[in-house]
Chain A
Amino acid sequence: MSVLEVKNITKSFGKTEVLSGINFSLKQGEVVAIIGSSGSGKTTLLRCLNLLERADGGSITVADEVIYDAADTGRHSEEDIRKKRLNLGLIFQSFNLFPQYTAIDNITLAPRLALGEAIKNKTVPAQEKAERLAAITQEAELLLERVGLSDRRDYYPCQLSGGQQQRVAIARALALKPALLCFDEPTSALDPELTGEVLRVIRSLKDEGRTMIVVTHEMEFARRVADRVIFMAHGVIVEEGPAEDVIGNPKSDELRAFLQKASDVNGADDKNTAK
């Protein structure tokens, strides 16, 4: 069963076409790494999937529900879009934790607000409120444990390292139980010594069987964790296949050049750390 079905997504900003017909799908439990040079449209693709950006053409189906179809020109209520978004989770490069809330409150905020609304709409009886709130908190505590931050439960984001903040952000996304998790360069804003802890969490999510899309510049990570790698350039998918094939045996000049540059950068890093 396919969790995600992306059909012919196109997106332009003004006159520049950023995505020119993206097609791919994801099976339950599959992890796809998206690689590609800067400006190739990776972030734009994730933003379209999460409905932060409206694609000009194409459709997106998550777990057999069409969450977006550019051909459907009818107006969609905010309510409707909000519900559809919940099928996906997005983890940002810059974490975007809410600074005024502690780690646990960052995780529980959205579920608590949703509960409040459900009680107001009478889809949840008011007398269950206390019980449900307790369940939300308990769930969040489990998630914190899951990302190895139980001891940072009541810390504010400014008291956490970048790697810890990103792990809280992952827990926050998981709290809404999305069918699909999207990561946009989750370690790019981190010091090199902090990337490991975040990548380990993502890897453990894979072991749990979660379906994920990870935009990344970490080739080693893509090779070891992703079931499939998608290489994007100038708004199209140039190569796609099992990680070993795509990274180990590039067919296009573009991918070869990209991998060459990536390994140059990594090589330079290695030399720096060797010093």
Chain B
Amino acid sequence: MVLGILTAARGGTGFLDVTLKLLEGFEVTLLLFALTLVFALPLGLVIAFGSMSRFKPLKYVTRTFVWIIRGVPLMLQLFLVFYVPGMLFDLQWPTELFGMPINSRFLAALVAFVINYACYFSEIYRGGIESISRGQYEAGQVLGMSKSQIFFKVVLLQVVKRIVPPMSNEVITLVKDTALARVIIVVEIIMAAEELMSRSLIWPLFYTGVFYLLFVGILTILFGWIEKKLDYFKA
């Protein structure tokens, strides 16, 4: 009984306690993952168009930016995004957004992830778009379609089909990359598990792997389903 009180004071060490604690961390992991996708997927398309622009300065600026973001460790980018505004401009990350309280560290991590992943996605988009044969565009042109009609009605779905495999790779990598957010003290699942080590528990750290595996398993099934859905045509 004494032991029980002690454990309670230190926080639970039972399987259920640990699971609940880890779930809290995993919630942060999932939120970072989902919000990164929400913003980085469209932003990546904008960057892709920039990097394919016929306006040379825009093209080179965009490609240089992509080169830098892809060339520097994400971990470093996290540090930079979180600390540099305060160091150089005396700006602090807000703790409130549109009247809602928000974890400023989480916000900084999100911004870093969005920029980083948008650049990776942009290269996947670019590869996909550039792989569509000129004949598809020209067929649309001679049929009197506008540029945007050709893009949205002819090219886009073919691009989607081609980029599903590289996208699924990148998205699965993102699931695991979210763990990097801990370097600016965002308590995602691994950091949550590490906090349990102060209760002399090592096994929760390994237990986190189960969460990742389950989630990646779900994503794998999802992407497999999408690939199957697009199987009806060859592009």
Chain A residues in the interface with B (C-beta under 8 A):
50, 52, 78-79, 82-83, 85-86, 88-90, 92, 94, 96-100, 109-110, 113-114, 156-158, 172-173, 176
Give complex CA distance A99, B144 in Å.
Answer: 18
- Among the stretches B87-95, B133-141, B217-225, the one at the interface with A is B133-141
Residues of B within 8 A of A157 (CB): 233-234
Residues of A within 8 A of B142 (CB): 50, 52, 85, 88-90, 173
The reply on B70 being an interface residue by CB < 8 A is no
**Residue interface mask B128-157, A partner, CB < 8 A = 1:** 000001011011111111110100011001
Give complex CA distance A156, B141 in Å.
Answer: 21
Contact B135 A172 (CB under 8 A): no
A-B contact count (CB 8 A): 66
Contact A110 B145 (CB under 8 A): yes
Residues of B within 8 A of A88 (CB): 142
Contact B144 A85 (CB under 8 A): yes
Cβ-closest chain B residue relative to A47: B138
Contact A92 B135 (CB under 8 A): yes
The reply on B98 being an interface residue by CB < 8 A is no
Residues of A within 8 A of B141 (CB): 52, 82, 85
Give complex CA distance A52, B233 in Å.
Answer: 27
18 contacts between A and B (CB under 8 A): A79-B146, A82-B141, A82-B146, A92-B135, A92-B139, A96-B133, A98-B136, A98-B154, A99-B235, A109-B143, A109-B154, A110-B140, A113-B153, A157-B233, A157-B234, A158-B233, A158-B234, A176-B144
Residues of B within 8 A of A173 (CB): 142-143
A162 to B: closest C-beta gap in Å: 14
Contact B138 A98 (CB under 8 A): no
Contact B144 A100 (CB under 8 A): no
Give complex CA distance A85, B158 in Å.
Answer: 25
Cβ-closest chain A residue relative to B138: A52
How many residues on chain B are close to A (CB under 8 Å)? 23
Residues of A within 8 A of B133 (CB): 96
Residues of A within 8 A of B144 (CB): 82-83, 85-86, 110, 114, 176
- Which of B135, B154, B235 contacts A94, CB < 8 Å? B135
Tell whether A100 pairs with B235 under 8 Å between CB atoms, given A85-B141, A113-B153: yes
9 more A-B residue pairs beyond the given contacts A89-B142, A92-B138, A157-B234, with a C-beta to C-beta distance below 8 A: A52-B141, A78-B147, A85-B141, A85-B142, A98-B136, A100-B158, A109-B153, A158-B233, A173-B142
B118 to A: closest C-beta gap in Å: 26
Tell whether A78 pairs with B154 under 8 Å between CB atoms, given A100-B235, A158-B234: no
Cβ-closest chain A residue relative to B235: A99
The reply on B55 being an interface residue by CB < 8 A is no
A88 to B: closest C-beta gap in Å: 7
The reply on B232 being an interface residue by CB < 8 A is yes
Residues of B within 8 A of A52 (CB): 138, 141-142
Give complex CA distance A77, B233 in Å.
Answer: 34
Cβ-closest chain A residue relative to B141: A52
Residues of B within 8 A of A99 (CB): 158, 233-235
Cβ-closest chain B residue relative to A158: B234
A126 to B: closest C-beta gap in Å: 19
Contact A172 B143 (CB under 8 A): yes
Give complex CA distance A97, B133 in Å.
Answer: 11
B225 to A: closest C-beta gap in Å: 18
Contact A96 B157 (CB under 8 A): no
Give complex CA distance A240, B152 in Å.
Answer: 43
A98 to B: closest C-beta gap in Å: 5
Cβ-closest chain A residue relative to B147: A78
In this complex, which of B133, B139, B141, B153 has the most chain A Cβ atoms within 10 angstroms of its Cβ?
Answer: B139
Residues facing A in B77-91 (CB within 8 A) are: none
Residues facing A in B145-176 (CB within 8 A) are: 145-147, 149, 153-154, 157-158, 161
B163 to A: closest C-beta gap in Å: 14
Residues of A within 8 A of B147 (CB): 78
Contact A113 B135 (CB under 8 A): no
Residues facing A in B29-48 (CB within 8 A) are: none
Residues of A within 8 A of B138 (CB): 52, 90, 92, 96
